[in-house]
Structure 1
Amino acid sequence: MKNVSNLKLSVYTLICGLSLLVTSCSSDNNNAEELEISQFEVQKVLAIDDYSAIADNAITQAFMGREGSGKRLLTNKESDCYSTTYSDTGFSMNFNNCALNGSENVNGLLNITYSVSENSSSFTSTFTDFYVGETKLNGTRVFTISATDNENEIAFTVVSNMTITLAGGEIITEEGSRTTTLIFSEDTIAITLSGTWTLVENGDTYIVTVTEDLSTLLGCEYISKGKFTLSKNGLEVLVDFGDGTCDNKAEITYPNGKVEEITL
């Protein structure tokens, strides 16, 4: 993760180099059949969240600005990447082939509609042929911002229903829910992420489930604490990011109990 203010936390960059192998027995004989979650699969599966959440910070900032919150989630430089036009029912954001949060260039128009109640605010972002580099995004992301007991926190949930078309023509669908909390202090901003999301590509189903909130501090390039499971068609492994130390290490627990340290 090169910019932790990107609420997806860019987890795919954190597990480069991971190759997960387990063995199962055939019901017909004793020959071992190798099942695999390859490094490439892990990177691709988790990169999808990086794509679909690319504009989350910018969208949230624009919404909070419309409501007069006064809490900023992006720098002025980052907001220069796009223009925002407000209406009575929402707003549109035009991204003009610019880099956002250290990403590939983003290009296209997002339409956001919103509603506000006493205890929460919600808005829906619609992607129509929105590009991140050569990757095309279509679908919706529904944001709900809820009141918290701590005035120094902003918490919101995103429900995603997206179709991602990669440069090579591969089509991946993504559905799921994530809750992100930003905790503001005098010195820094802490970010936590929880949730579960599912991706389907070429007949394979991948499920990411955060079992212990992923967290980091602004300025750290890596997730520093938390755990998630990654499963493919029922094969599941656990990724543990540690005790809060900002480093490039994590531990993988295999189905047979083997634990391996990896470099992120």
Structure 2
Amino acid sequence: MKMNHPKKSLFLIATAALVIGFSSCSKNNDTQVDRDPELTQATVEAEAEAELMYDDVFNNVMGADQQVAIGGTGVFQSANSDQPGPLQSTCFTLTLSKTGDGFPITVTVDFGSEGCLGRDGRTRKGKFSTIYTGHMILPGSKATTTFTNYYVNGVKVEGTHTLENKSTANQWAFETRVIDGKLSRENGNQINWNRVRTFTMISGSGTPYVPTDDVFAITSNGSGTVTIGDKTGTWTSTTTTPLEKAFSCRWISAGTQEIQRLNGRKASLDFGNGECDNKATITVNGVSREITLK
């Protein structure tokens, strides 16, 4: 359940209030003491930011064009609403190329070097390219995305993102992998991340080209390292309650991840109970704080 605390942006960890808040509750039924609670906090926030950034890649890969996927999601949503729909008129360009009559097809989305403000409020620049081996509604089809000087809200996105259709006759399912993912800020702070995720469709399978009714349950596990100044924290993450993602909402709206920092405490990241908003709750050592996702 999401809590009504003051908004806190990701990486807002170096404040006296935060240090005092977590240091004052350094023990619970677990006898372990977290010697660096703000670094534990940072690992959970890093997990949240990485989930958000690479979930955006999934939305864009599925939304690029109906020749390769369902179309109309991510940056390709309607120009007149926040819901999926026809390609919006905006500052990016889409190039589709192929060597023959069919697949593989490469889609490149170029946001330019000056920055392109999307309807989701995020500013992107640079480009990403996706190679599709088949149409993404067909089992076995795979899409591999790489990035060239690609930034979202000033954060550089690197690594490889893969999406594979692993559906069966009875169940729509997709698997995504983030391989050597890296998110870098101008101040030198960065996140390195690897993650495997399974999307299982729980609503909308009867209308494959209508994304507005598509809802997925998500399970994942991953590992990462966050560097903030001279501090580095390493963690692993596992889904404890399946996450929920609807194409009609740009945010993950429900579910929890368990975060285990190396040589630190376990923490949780709660995306809520289904409400479509940009809030999540971090709990470390029994103390909960709300963050705002961007």
Calculate the TM-score normalised by the size of structure 1. Answer: 0.70
CA displacement at 1:197 relative to structure 2? 2.0
- Say if 1:169 and 1:240 are closer, same or farther in 2 by CA, change over 3 A: closer
Q: Distance in 2 between matches of 1:84 and 1:122?
A: 19
Q: How has the CA–CA distance of structure 1 residues 22 and 180 changed in structure 2, closer, same or farther, with 3 Å as cutoff?
A: farther
1:85 maps onto 2:87 in alignment: no
Q: 1:46 aligns with which of 48, 58, 82?
A: 48
Q: Aligned partners of 1:87 and 1:155: how far apart in 2?
A: 27
Match of 1:177 in 2: 196
189 and 127 in structure 1: CA distance in 2 versus 1, 3 angstrom threshold: same
Q: Matched residues in 1 for 2:249 and 2:139: separation? A: 32
Pairing partner for 1:238 from 250, 268, 282:
268
Partner residue, 1:167: 186
Structure 2 gaps, min length 5: 1-8, 99-103
CA shift digits 1:145-174 (9 cap, x unpaired): 233446xx8532211121222121223211
Q: Secondary structure at the match of 2:48?
A: helix
Whether the aligned pair in 1 keeps the contact of 2:44 and 2:268 (CA below 8 Å) is: no
Aligned residues: 239
Q: How big is each residue's C-alpha offset from its partner over 1:88-120, in whole Å with a ceiling of 9 and x where there is no partner? A: 232211124223462431011212222239732
TM-score (norm 2): 0.64
Give the direction of change, closer, same or farther, for the CA distance of 1:116–1:22 in structure 2 (3 Å limit).
farther
Identify if the C-alpha distance between structure 1 residues 51 and 33 changes in structure 2 by more than 3 Å, giving closer, same or farther: closer
Greater strand content? 1
Residue 137 of structure 1 corresponds to 157
Match of 2:101 in 1: none
Matches within 5 A, 1:206-245: 206-215=235-244, 224-234=253-263, 235-240=265-270, 244=274
Deviation of the 1:239 alpha carbon: 4.2
Q: 1:225 to 1:54 in 2, by over 3 A?
A: closer
Distance in structure 2 (CA, Å) of the matches to 1:127 and 1:111: 6
The alignment yields a C-alpha RMSD, in angstroms, of 3.9
Percent of aligned pairs sharing the same letter: 18
Written as runs of structure 1 = structure 2, the 5 A alignment for 1:21-170 is: 22-23=26-27, 34-37=35-38, 39-62=41-64, 65-67=66-68, 72-73=72-73, 74-77=76-79, 79-80=87-88, 81=90, 82-88=92-98, 89=104, 90-96=106-112, 97-100=115-118, 102-116=120-134, 119-149=139-169, 155-161=173-179, 162-170=181-189
Consecutive unaligned residues of structure 1, counting only runs of 5 or more, are 1-11, 27-31
Shift of the alpha carbon at 1:237? 2.1
Which structure has more relative contact order (CA 8 Å, sep 6+)? It is: 2
Is the CA contact 2:260–2:267 (under 8 Å) kept in the aligned structure 1? yes
Cα offset, 1:209, TM superposition: 1.4
Once residues 107 and 271 of structure 2 are traced to their aligned partners in structure 1, the CA distance between those partners, rounded to angstroms, is 38
Distance in 2 of aligned mates of 1:220 and 1:62: 17
Taking a change above 3 Å as real, the CA distance of residues 236 and 245 of structure 1, as seen in their structure-2 partners, is same
> How much does 1:121 deviate?
0.6
**CA distance in 2: counterparts of 1:249 and 1:108, whole angstroms:** 29
- Aligned partner letter, 2:60: A
Alpha-carbon distance in 1 for matches of 2:252, 2:145: 26
